[in-house]
Homo-oligomer: A and B are copies of this chain.
Amino acid sequence: MIEVEVKARSPPDIESRIIELGGELLGVETHLDLYFSHPFRDFARTDEALRIRIKEEGARLTYKGPKLDIETKSRQELTVRVDDAEALESILESVGFSRAAVVKKRRSKYSLGEATLAVDEVESLGAFIEVELSGDEDWQAQKRVALEILSMLGLAESIRESYLELLNDSGLLNDSE
C-alpha cells in the first residue's frame, strides 16, 4: 500500500479549522515510536524506516519505503499488528537491528472525506498536522487531494522530513531516547 501523506507545522487553531471544513474527531492516541537501524543498512541514507509503534490499542511493526516524490512524504507502507512489542524488539535486536531513536507524541485523529488528518503534539518538536490518504497505482490523484486539504486549512508549506529526521536535524535525538 502507498501511504500518501503531506505534513505542515500546525497553528494553534488548527482543530477548529478542521471542524469548520467538516472534519470529525475520531479519537486521541498516544504513540511511542521505536525506530530501528541495521549496521549493514543505514535506513537514514536509504530513506527507509523500520518502526515499532506502541499505542493504547496495541503494537504494530511498520516498514516505510523511500519517499516517492519531491513534494510530499508519500511512500510504500507495510504494517502488521503484533501481540508483544517487547518480544518483537528482542527479536529485532537478536537478528542485528538496534534501537536508533524514540519519538513520543499525542495524536488527535480526524476524518475529512476520504482523508485522515492527524494533529500531532510531538515531544521536543511541537505541533504538526499530517494529511493522509491510502493509494495504489493511482496515488497521484490522492496526492492532489492531500495537498488541496492542506491549502484549504490555510497552510502553504509541505514538510517532507519525518519526525525522526526532524529530531535528527535539530540535534535532539539523544535527548529523546
Contact = CB atoms under 8 A, between A and B. Distances in A.
Given A61-B91, A80-B87, A82-B83, 8 more contacts: A38-B96, A40-B40, A41-B96, A48-B95, A50-B95, A61-B82, A78-B87, A80-B83
A62 B87 CA distance: 10
A147 B80 CA distance: 38
6 contacts: A40-B40, A40-B96, A41-B96, A63-B94, A80-B83, A82-B82
Contact of A80 (B48, B62, B88): B88
A84 B87 CA distance: 17
A55 interface: no
A145 to B, nearest CB: 25
Interface of A: 38, 40-41, 48, 50, 61-63, 65, 78-84, 87-88, 90-91, 94-96
Contact of A81 (B63, B84, B94, B96): B84
